[in-house]
Amino acid sequence: MIRSPPQKYNPKKVEEKILDFWVKNDIFKKSIEQRKTNDSYVFLEGPPTANGMPHPGHVLTRVMKDLILRYQAMNGYYILRKAGWDTHGLPVEIEVEKKLGLKDKHDIEKYGLKKFNDECKKSVFKYENAWVEMTKRIGFWLDMDNPYITLKNDYIESVWWSLKQAWEKKLLYRGHKVVPYCPRCGTALSAHEVAQGYKNVEEPSIFIKFKLKDEDAYFLAWTTTPWTLISNVALAVHPNATYIKILYHGQTLILAEERAAVLLKGQEYEMLDGFSGKDLEKTEYEPLFDYAKPDKKAWYVILADFVTMEDGTGIVHIAPAFGEDDYNVGVKYGLPVVQLVNLDGTFKDEVTLWKGQFVKDADPSIIKHLEKEGFLEGTKEHTHEYPFCWRCDSPLLYYAMESWFIAMSKVQKNLVDNNDQINWYPRHIQQGRFGDFIRDVKDWALSRNRYWGTPLPIWICTDKKCKHQICVGSVDELKELSDEFPDDYDLHKPFVDELTVRCPKCNSKMKREKEVIDCWYDSGSAFFAQWHYPFENKKQFEENFPIDFISEALDQTRGWFYSLLAISTFLFERPPYKNVLTLGLVLDKDNVKMSKSKRNYVDPTIILDHEGADALRWYLLSANAPWNSTRFYEEAVRETLGKFILTLWNSYNFFTTYASLDKFDPRQDMIPINDRQLLDKWILSRFNRTVSEVRKYFETFEIHKAARVIESFLIEDFSNWYLRRSRKRLWVEEKTDDKLAGYSTMYDVFLGLSKLLAPFVPFITDEIYQNLRTGDMPESIHLCDYLQPDERHIDENLEEGMRRVRALVEVGRALRSKVGIKVRYPLSSAVIVCKKDVEVLIKDLLDLLNEEINVKHISFERDTGKFMTKTVKPNHSQLGPKYKAKVKGIVTAIEELDEHGLYEDLTTKGEVALSVVGEEIKLTIKDFKIVETEKEHIASTQTEDMILLLDTTLTPELEAEGFAREIVRRIQSMRKELDLDVEQQISTSVGISKEKQQMLKDWEDYIKGETRSQAITYEDKPTGKLVKTWDIDEVKATIGVGT
């Protein structure tokens, strides 16, 4: 039996009830288990780090993943939804350092690695509860009881296995490379980590003069990093550029001609000489500082192609220790690597003036010093992007460091091929942002000089002669090599470093390379490591590879999306996933990216409490294309609640109120669709079309479009038209077939709509479903199948006819408002002038039009002749050019003619002859404008190819009927004010003039019926529970309502 739910919708209460229902009845588990024998749809959860609170961006990814998975599940696919946690890496260490008050790596070692890593392990799950709660609360169905966790021994063992594969393919090497380095974290960062942290900064850039050794002249160079000048060893020029020597403010300077033209524009200088870059090679100059004691020849001009003429002076200062280009060109020329900076980013002791200072902080003081020494030519504020550490926000330094690498450049071709096989949404990322990155792939700097991470499984023999290197690929292998290996072990530091490992060649002790690995490698291994492959679950791995669908935010493009592809490419030589949906960022109300530091993000739990998960989900899913950024703020979600969720609830409430009153039973009372009204057939046609569009949009992940077609179906078609037009049908006392047809249709639509919406808004849909379902249906909507459109119920002509009728209603109402006759007053007739085929489309739907614009009778005509008068007026723009000065005379002549006769003559004879100042002029219809005017008591309007005419005559009878409706409306509003039940009977007394009483006489039954009045009495002073006096168009009426 259909119940009538509470009128007010309380999102939090309903959603918590449904959550409880799911848990108590194991619905999530059942939704997976019941599809166990079906084809599977493989999903991989990108593991979040649980050591920070979830924010709106995380909510968006989780909502989107859930939507797709629910959709595919309802389509019958078997989907595992294993949760995952990313647990290693710097962010965790930083948290712990803060907590323990440790300032740097030295502090950590002093504190003890075992204790430190134990703290890290604890810290990782600090916010796990908040994450689990959020995930559940928003309705993201994820198996959080059996997650994969990157810190587990099994997981690490799988990662080691994969590294050994790389080792055996000779892809792992220890290299020397200039890498972005975080002085605070004390570790190098990989390219995709650097990519996380570019910021625009405004910094001083300076022009410096380097004095030539054998001449009283200066090279003018430019830099944005003054602190690197101390380690300067060379100046680079472009071999093919032209350089000039000039006299400027009494000094001789050398710089690129092209740059001089820009920098010294409008200033006076004297050209002394010119040469090409090549001519300058090997020219020696004097160092700015004497701190460096290079072991090789330094301080001369070298040639380099990377010198640009876009900024600076065309002369670039070279410090091989601090730049990739610098390092490479240094190798070529055999330049010394002068390294005067400690690993913590401070100057070494030999730099007496600034020793111990952080290099970037020393910039202003260095600039001052250069100025004092006369080497500074000028400064300029320069805005550019500079990389910062993605976690601790320190500015990165470029450093020549030793590190372990994976030679991704060797498999670049495979990466490109594999990328080509992936479906990217949106498409442009494939060859754009991601493709660019892959085509120019750099070797992956894998090792990290840190503590909390998967240890690099490489051991090197300590014997000076042997130096044998091994990469360990399993726990058994390590056991084999170790003197002692306990049963209770933990594959982290310091355990792995405390093992005594023997060299298989010489039996000497081996020492592990002390680094841990990039945590992006951990998460990128998830597709096999989650199964402890290849040590266990081989079958499961094979069934779940490749992955059908992954989805994360745009910032993962070169993060997780890349690390998955990279690892899968060198391990299995194939792409790891087939479809990847890249999500836009979540921005605040002012279009600014949400970040902790700006504190501009909304706490999702507040919105979940106020507006609920469904409204939150619907907003995120419908606001924008998934890959576009979406603004997020509470008012927006509140609007969604009002517009969509509550419209759904109110219309559902409307249906159930009446259906329960009539004890509508879907098992017995359903009327076959063929026996229902056109209106019913129409909404079912619209519904099935909506279903088919929704499915179409899912194919291409155009989720916003899917959501919008549903929204417009619900609001425009179903709520604002179908239900509005069906109200009267439900208002009859008896259980008529038509009323049952209405209930049947509403039942069909609500049941169908709930299924259609279930993946989007899983709570309210299950709430509705629970009320509508009959015993033979699954116990939750999430155990149902998704809908297929039923083509038999799609009726093109019916939809087109209805569209036209609605268009007529629109202009009809506008017309009434224009002529000033309220809709409440009926008019006797309307005429539609249109073609035969249009008439066929709409003739069966005219009852709707009748009621909406309140006319007694509607008929069709092919032309407007009976109602409109056609006259003609001279068309000046035609006549003007032809007759010039005579026009005035022509117009006067026309005015003297009978205007009706004129039109007749023009249409029958084709022309009229006028005599103007003795001259005969013949005019055709083209020389006139045709003007149509309505005859008396006719109003006209037009839409598309249909003209609607109204007879505006108000007879006394019509006026009486309208007045009766005025009275009804007042009584109804009083009923409402009294908060009466729908069925409650009342007694009504009316105080009104005798004349109006007479008017109402014929309509008493109507008034009684509409207002459920047992009797209507006329009294001078009406009585009742509520008595009100109304002004009805200057008529005073006092009405009393009693129960």
Written as one letter, the residue type at 164 is K
Interacting residues with RNA between 598 and 617 (CB under 7 A): 611
Q: What is the 3-state secondary structure (H, E, C) of 739-788?
A: HHHHHHHHHHHHHHHHHHHCCCCHHHHHHHHHHHCCCCCCCCHHHCCCCC
419 near RNA, judged by CB under 7 A? no
Beta-carbon contacts of 676 under 8 Å, excluding residues fewer than 6 positions away, are 741, 744, 745
Radius of gyration of the chain (CA): 41
User: What is the nearest approach in angstroms of RNA to the Cβ of residue 778?
Assistant: 29
Residue 191 interacting with RNA (CB under 7 A): yes
Asked if residue 594 binds RNA (CB under 7 A), the reply is: no
Contact 902, 912 (CB under 8 A): yes
Please give the single-letter amino acid code of residue 363.
Answer: D
Of 22, 560, 627, 721, the active-site residue reads 560
Classify 931 as helix, strand or coil: strand
* 984 is a site residue for RNA (CB under 7 A): yes
**Residue whose structure tokens are 């892809």:** 171
Instruction: Tell me the C-alpha to C-alpha distance, in Å, between residue 178 and each of 188, 306, 771, 922, 946.
Output: 9, 16, 66, 93, 75
| Binding residues among 998-1017 for RNA as defined by CB under 7 A | 1010-1012
CB of 724 to RNA, least distance (A): 4
- What is the biggest distance separating any 2 CA atoms in the chain, rounded to whole angstroms? 131
Q: Per CB under 7 A, does 975 bind RNA?
A: yes
Catalytic position from the list 5, 11, 22, 47: 47
Q: Which of 152, 355, 578, 593 is catalytic?
A: 593
Q: What is the DSSP string of 465-528?
A: TT--EEE--SHHHHHHHBS---SS--SSTTHHHHS-EE-TTT--EEEE---EE-HHHHHHTHHH
**Among the listed residues 976, 1005, 1021, 1031, the single contact to RNA using CB under 7 A:** 976
Q: Which of residues 816-875 bind RNA (CB under 7 A)?
A: 817, 822-824
Amino acid occupying residue 88: H
**Per-residue tokens: 849:** 């039009």
Out of 79, 194, 586, 784, the only residue in the binding site for RNA (CB under 7 A) is 194
Q: Does 973 bind RNA (CB under 7 A)?
A: yes
Instruction: Evaluate the omega torsion of the peptide bond into residue 494 and state whether it is cis, within 30 degrees of 0.
Output: yes
Catalytic-labelled residue, pool 165, 430, 530, 556: 556
Residue 596 found at the interface with RNA (CB under 7 A)? no
Quote the Cα angle for 850-856-858, to 5°: 65
- Among 107-115, 202-210, 796-804, 978-986, the segment contacting RNA (CB under 7 A): 978-986
Pick the piece of the chain touching RNA (CB under 7 A) from 193-201, 453-461, 567-575, 788-796: 193-201
Work out how close the CB of 144 gets to RNA at its nearest, in angstroms, rounded to a whole number.
29
CB of 812 to RNA, least distance (A): 8
* 855, β-bridge pairs: 827
Q: Which helix (H) or strand (E) holds 946?
A: strand 946-951
Total residues contacting RNA by CB under 7 A comes to: 81
Q: Is 309 in the site for RNA (CB under 7 A)?
A: no
Determine the straight-line distance between the first and last CA of the chain, rounded to whole angstroms.
30
- Residue selected from 114, 152, 502, 631 as contacting RNA according to rule CB under 7 A: 631
Give min distance, CB of 947 to RNA, in A.
13
Which is nearer to RNA, 251 or 719 (by Cβ)?
719
Annotated active-site residue in 65, 66, 82, 86: 86
How far apart are CB 1043 and RNA at their closest, in Å? 10
Interacting span for RNA (CB under 7 A) from 6-14, 314-322, 663-671, 796-804: 6-14
Among 1, 271, 814, 930, binds RNA (CB under 7 A): 814
- Site residues for RNA, window 16-75 (CB under 7 A)? none
Alpha-helix residue ranges (DSSP H) falling in 351-474: 359-373, 412-420, 428-431, 433-439
Can you tell me which of 12, 638, 803, 870 binds RNA, judged by CB under 7 A? 638
The CB-of-588 to RNA minimum distance in angstroms stands at 11
Ranges within 522-541 binding RNA (CB under 7 A): none
- Cross-strand partners of 381: 204
Site for RNA, residues 96 to 115, rule: CB under 7 A:
none
**Cβ 16 to RNA shortest distance, Å:** 16
Choose one: 138-146, 190-198, 796-804, 995-1003; the region binding RNA (CB under 7 A): 190-198
Nearest distance, CB of residue 632 and RNA, angstroms: 10
- Minimum Å distance from CB 191 to RNA? 5
Is 556 labeled as catalytic in the residue annotation? yes
Helix H or strand E encompassing 176? strand 172-182
Q: How far is CA 496 from the centre of its chain?
A: 44
Q: Taking CA 1025 as the corner, what is the angle to CA 1020 and CA 1028, rounded to the nearest 5 degrees?
A: 50
> How far, in Å, CA of 769 to CA of 772, rounded?
5
Beta pairing, strands 986-991 & 1013-1018: parallel
202 lies in the binding site for RNA (CB under 7 A): no
C-alpha 450 chain-centroid distance: 36
Contact between 597 and RNA by CB under 7 A: the answer reads no
Q: Does 433 bind RNA (CB under 7 A)?
A: yes
CB within 8 A of 406, min separation 6: which ones? 166, 171, 172, 443, 444, 446, 566, 570
x-marked contacts with RNA along 144-183 as a string, rule CB under 7 A? ----------------------------------------
Residue 982 interacts with RNA (CB under 7 A)? yes
Among 129, 146, 628, 774, binds RNA (CB under 7 A): 628
Torsion over CA of 533, 537, 541 and 543, rounded to 10 degrees? Answer: 170
Q: Which of 55, 81, 192, 391 binds RNA (CB under 7 A)?
A: 192
Q: Per rule CB under 7 A, is residue 436 in the interface with RNA? A: yes
Which of 350, 373, 959, 981 touches RNA by CB under 7 A? 981
Please give the structure tokens belonging to residue 398: 């470029």
Told to judge if 596 belongs to the known catalytic residues of this protein, a careful annotator would answer yes
Note whether 955 binds RNA by CB under 7 A.
no
DSSP per residue over 849-907, as a string? HHHHHTEEEEEEES-STTTEEEEEEE-HHHHHHHHGGGHHHHHHHHHHS-HHHHHHHHH
Instruction: State yes or no: is 180 an active-site residue.
Output: no
Name, in order, each residue with C-beta under 8 angstroms of 772's C-beta and a sequence gap of 6 or more: 2, 666, 747, 750, 751, 754
DSSP state of 316: E
The encoded tokens of residue 395 equal 């500015």
Among 112, 364, 378, 432, binds RNA (CB under 7 A): 432
Instruction: Find the helix or strand (DSSP H, E) in which 218 lies.
Output: strand 218-223
Footprint of RNA on 722-761 (CB under 7 A): 723-724, 727, 731
Q: Can you tell me which of 216, 268, 385, 733 binds RNA, judged by CB under 7 A?
A: 385
In the complex with RNA, the residue whose CB is nearer, 765 or 988, is 988
- Does the protein bind RNA through residue 272 (CB under 7 A)? no
For RNA, the closer of residues 296 and 428 by Cβ is: 428
Active site residue 47: yes
Q: How far is the CB of 213 from RNA (least distance, A)?
A: 31
Specify the amino acid at residue 1009.
Answer: G
* 1043 near RNA, rule: CB under 7 A: no
For residues 793-812, which are near RNA according to CB under 7 A? 810-811
Known catalytic residue: 1030?
A: no
Shortest separation between residue 651's beta carbon and RNA, angstroms: 5
* Contacting RNA within 551-570 (CB under 7 A): 554-555, 557-558
Of 3-11, 53-61, 291-299, 598-606, the window that binds RNA (rule: CB under 7 A) is: 3-11
Catalytic positions are: 47, 86, 520, 556, 560, 593, 596
